[in-house]
Each structure stands twice: as structure tokens, then as C-alpha cells.
């Protein structure tokens, strides 16, 4: 599974870790995160993320 980069702040969403504080369980692919989820660091919307290299 790909990792995703929040372009505004540099946060990396790692599907192996998820976002437990945001209700996203480890092992959750980025595509499977609800559309209303936001970056836990800066609050950017999901569309501000790009695939990390």
C-alpha cells in the first residue's frame, strides 16, 4: 500500500500505522479513508494528499 504526503505540511499517512487518534485503524488503505477525514497535523482535506515517493 502506498504512503501519502500532505502537501501543505509534510505529514505522511502510512497505511500500516493508520491514524488511530482520527479513528483510522492500522492497515487502512488511503482510498478507504472516509472523504471527510482531515490531516491530523494541519487539518487539510484528503484532496491535499499525493502519493509519497
Known binding-site residue numbers = 6, 9, 39, 42
Which residue's entry shows cell 485503524?
25
Known binding-site residue numbers for Fe cation = 6, 9, 39, 42
- Among candidates 1, 2, 6, 3, which has minimal Cα distance to 49? 6
Q: Is 51 left (phi over 0), alpha (psi -120 to 50) or beta?
A: beta
Amino acid at each position: 500500500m502506498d504512503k501519502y504526503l500532505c502537501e501543505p505540511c509534510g505529514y505522511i499517512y502510512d497505511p500500516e500505522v493508520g491514524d488511530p487518534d482520527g479513528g483510522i485503524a492500522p492497515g487502512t488503505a488511503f482510498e478507504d479513508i472516509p472523504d471527510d477525514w482531515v490531516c491530523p497535523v494541519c487539518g487539510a482535506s484528503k484532496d491535499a494528499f499525493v502519493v509519497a515517493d
